[in-house]
Structure 1
């Protein structure tokens, strides 16, 4: 996506320069047309002056035509590159940036692993120390989503969905880290967290649908 941003910037600047050149040659065309009109209005008596006038008119008319053709060429190129810049901008707006893609993917696995850890609490043969450490690690990883914001290249609707998702993942992480020991003694707390995980996964599904993410590919890697 960084490469796309560079390409967008390049095409956008190129479009502006091409349109500026088109405007420059349009101005030149208008000036030459005015000069042609002025010379044509002049009444000359001598043949030598009329010959010079004719040559000057031919030069100006030829120059005005060349300026107009060049103006149209730069105008078309400017519109073309502007359209390319718009397409790149639109593509970025409807697709996840590399950073957001990584955060959403990691969030998917963190929530999934956290859910599994909570569901396995108090099962026979479970290593309490190891399970507690796993919850601490997962909580810390989710808490790291604090302060994260979606790329402003996304459409506003996409940014809202992503920021809401990052926030609930962060809250789950902060709360889990602070209550990791309580899970083994409080079944109601476990159920409460499982509900919150489902809520976060609901936001996650909205993101997958909005950005057309294949969650089947993510599940296959679990």
Structure 2
């Protein structure tokens, strides 16, 4: 589990504990108040006894107030911690994990390099080198087939990422089956350029959804 997972578990556990303790104090306050009421209802002819029980009732009243205040304190702290736990989970659900972030960055540069490599096919003077480069890129693209979106993400976020990984894999597998000669054919070439554009569109949607700074990636090319 990641650090955020442990933070979430820790905060949520503490929040639950605080609320349980708050409940215990509230129950204690009810019991103490009931004792106080019962004590006040009793009648004593003896002044000394009446004074003693009056003093005892006063102490019970103060104890009730203290229990309520302490209970409220624990309840507020528990509520704040629960809010922190919810925010932590929300952060995980709407932000890319390190693994997915690395995958998106790697995919971004792979698509760019693949697009650039395909653009050189028509005029290549070293078919063997070009074939090797295409195969290497295709293998890396195919490797996205083992990736899957972090299950802690929102459903929409997972769908987008899993679709992206799947499309990257398909692009790599299909590209790996093509020869340089077939890729030099305009129709085949145009089809693969269109496939890359399609995956890049999914990629842009992911950037927008997770607020990834594409400009920063472009500057690192």
TM-score range, shorter chain: over 0.9
Q: Which residue of 2 aligns with 1:175?
A: 174
Q: Which residue of 1 aligns with 2:83?
A: 83
Aligned-residue offset at 1:153: 2.1
Spell out structure 1 runs of 4+ moving beyond 3 A. 180-187
Q: What are the residue-to-residue correspondences of 1:23-172 with 2, within 5 Å?
A: 23-125=23-125, 127-172=126-171
Query: What's the TM-score, normalizing by structure 2?
Result: 0.92
Structure 1 unaligned blocks of 5 or more: none
CA deviation profile, 1:140-199 (whole Å, cap 9, x unmatched): 111111142211222222222111111101111122223355544543222211111100
Query: Quick one: distance in 1 between partners of 2:182 and 2:89?
Result: 46
Aligned length: 221
Aligned-residue offset at 1:100: 1.0
CA deviation profile, 1:107-152 (whole Å, cap 9, x unmatched): 1011111111111113143x21121111111111111111422112
Query: Quick one: distance in 2 between partners of 1:218 and 1:176?
Result: 25
Query: What's the TM-score, normalizing by structure 1?
Result: 0.92
Query: Quick one: distance in 1 between partners of 2:141 and 2:214?
Result: 20
Q: What are the residue-to-residue correspondences of 1:198-209 with 2, within 5 Å?
A: 198-209=197-208
Is the 8 Å Cα contact of residues 121 and 184 (structure 2) preserved in structure 1?
A: no
Query: Quick one: distance in 1 between partners of 2:33 and 2:26?
Result: 11
1:221 aligns with 2:220: yes
Aligned-residue offset at 1:6: 2.2
Q: Which residue of 1 aligns with 2:21?
A: 21
CA deviation profile, 1:78-119 (whole Å, cap 9, x unmatched): 111111112222222222111111111111011111111111
**Secondary structure in 2 matching 1:146:** helix
